[in-house]
């Protein structure tokens, strides 16, 4: 990873530091970047951090040639000392049907059986039934985050044509948000070594850029943090909006400094 993140340079620390004051965010005009054929019209991010996982997503649901509406794309099932979170890109019916299918079995698990491997098996069995009945959408993508007992949280993904969960990358992006823009920005501000506090700011920033510049991404941003022992935390809308406003302010300031900078003379 670039040294700028690992060394916590002044620019990065200021840019991603939580702020108490509030600025008003004025969105820039949106440009319709080309989106990949067959990709769900959304952005869902999963970030591994040194103390947990961060899931982020926009809320805009787009039916091409028809209409748009808003819906949360991250959901959570809470147990005793464990939890499982879903982030979907594609049809909400697929994710809801999957959760409805597995929830009774998850809640019936004994404490000693609650771990990422067993939960993954339960999800894979449910996915197998859905695929056999052709209930899983052709382009639907899924992130599954699991926090069990006595183990760090695990992150899995499913993308067509695969039919079962696979371990996700440290930086995983679903939907049309999976783009050169988000990959480039992510490579500059994300590292596996960051904590979830900084990870939430990275997620907020990247989803904001997708909303700003990628067609079919929009609405509010949802952010969920998972830590060990089933600990989960939703970020408040007001905190997300505040952080986004400060990032927008500092981004312009630091970009201008980069343009105005001159190569030092030796």
Is the confidence at residue 11, as pLDDT, over 50? no
The predicted pLDDT at position 148 comes to 85
The predicted pLDDT at position 33 comes to 39
Q: What percent of the chain has pLDDT over 90?
A: 55
Q: How confident is the model at residue 22 (pLDDT cuts 50, 70, 90)?
A: very low
The predicted pLDDT at position 7 comes to 39
Helix axes 196-213, 180-189, angle to 10 degrees: 150
Is the confidence at residue 1, as pLDDT, over 50? no
- In the predicted model, what is the mean pLDDT of residues 212-216? 91
163 DSSP assignment: -
Scanning the chain, the segments in alpha helix (DSSP H) are 3-6, 10-16, 92-107, 116-132, 180-189, 196-213, 237-260
What element of type H or E holds 142? strand 141-147
Radius of gyration for the alpha carbons in the chain, expressed in angstroms and rounded: 19
Q: What residue segments make up the domains of the chain, in order of their start? A: 3-257
Give the sign of the dihedral formed by CA 183, CA 139, CA 210, CA 84: negative
Q: How confident is the model at residue 65 (pLDDT cuts 50, 70, 90)?
A: low
* Mean pLDDT rounded to a whole number for the chain: 84
CATH of domain 3-257: 3.60.20.10
- In the predicted model, what is the mean pLDDT of residues 222-227? 97
Q: What percent of the chain has pLDDT over 70?
A: 84
0.85 exceeded by the pTM?
no
The predicted pLDDT at position 110 comes to 82
Q: Quick one: tokens of 214? A: 């990628």
Q: How confident is the model at residue 170 (pLDDT cuts 50, 70, 90)?
A: very high
């Amino acid at each position: 990873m670039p040294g700028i993140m690992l060394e916590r340079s002044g620019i990065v620390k200021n840019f991603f530091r939580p702020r108490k004051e509030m600025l008003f965010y004025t969105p820039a005009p949106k440009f319709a970047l080309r989106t990949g054929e067959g990709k769900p019209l959304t952005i869902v991010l999963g970030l591994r951090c040194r103390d947990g996982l961060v899931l982020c997503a926009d809320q805009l649901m787009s039916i091409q040639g028809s209409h748009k509406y808003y819906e949360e794309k991250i959901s959570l099932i809470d147990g005793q000392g464990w939890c499982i979170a879903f982030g979907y890109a594609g049809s909400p019916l697929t994710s809801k049907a999957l959760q409805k299918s597995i929830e009774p079995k998850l809640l019936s698990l004994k404490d000693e059986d609650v771990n990422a491997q067993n939960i993954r098996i339960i999800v894979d069995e449910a996915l197998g039934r859905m695929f056999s009945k052709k209930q899983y959408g052709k382009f639907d993508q899924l992130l599954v985050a699991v926090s069990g007992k006595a183990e760090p949280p695990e992150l899995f993904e499913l993308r067509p044509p695969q039919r079962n969960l696979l371990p996700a990358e440290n930086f995983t992006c679903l939907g049309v948000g999976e783009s050169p823009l988000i990959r480039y920005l992510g490579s500059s501000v994300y590292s596996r070594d960051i904590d979830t506090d900084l990870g939430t700011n990275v997620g907020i920033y990247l989803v904001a850029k997708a909303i700003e510049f990628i067609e079919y991404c929009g609405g509010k941003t949802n952010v969920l943090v998972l830590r060990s022992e089933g600990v989960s935390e939703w970020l408040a809308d007001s905190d997300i909006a505040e952080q986004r406003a400060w990032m927008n302010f500092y981004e312009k300031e630091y970009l201008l400094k980069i343009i105005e900078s001159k190569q030092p003379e030796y």
